[in-house]
Amino acid sequence: MARVRDRIGDDRGSALVEASFAAVFLTALVVVVFEFGMVFSSYVAVINSSRAGASYASMYPDPASSEYDRYADIARNEARAGRLTMERLEVLPPETPEGTDAGDPVRVTVVYRLRTFSSSISLPIFGRMGLPDTYTIRWATTAPIR
């Protein structure tokens, strides 16, 4: 009993306990920053891919043209340069709501379904805490037909 009373005011080991609590929060912060970086990088790659596809589709808006279908290849090449996974990338057909005359708009939409590092993580009690398994990034670029 005397040993317990002697240890009540003892601070030994408290720094280790505090460091373990801080390590949990710092690890979570690093994961969040990493996730944000992945989402933002993919977002920029999708925008660039959509712009490249719309730029090419604005030069060849006529479906009868032999070059018409290459807009998707151009968009995919730009997405590949941004290190996106091709299986999760979808390039929608160009939309020309006002016709295919010079100056009319053509719109190309690119959709990417991003699975991040934490997509497979689930906490025992909290589960996914409202986070989605995949993030859907969609961007449409409109360009005037040349």
Tens-binned pLDDT, residue by residue, of the chain (146 aa): 556 666 666 677 888 888 988 998 898 888 888 889 999 999 999 999 999 999 999 999 988 889 998 999 999 999 999 999 999 999 999 999 998 899 999 999 999 999 987 777 777 777 767 677 888 999 999 999 99
Q: Does residue 121 lie within any of the structural domains? A: yes
Global pTM?
A: 0.82
Helix, strand, coil shares, percent, the chain, to 5: 50, 20, 35
Number of residues assigned to the chain: 146
Residue 119 falls inside a structural domain = yes
In a domain, 116, yes or no: yes
CB atoms within 10 A of CB 74: 18
**Token pair for residue 39?**
């989402």
H or E element in which residue 110 lies: strand 105-114
Give the chain's domain count: 1
Cβ within 8 Å of residue 5, ≥6 positions away: none
Q: Which domain holds residue 55?
A: 13-144
Among residues 26, 29, 27, 36, which one has the least CA distance to residue 116? 36
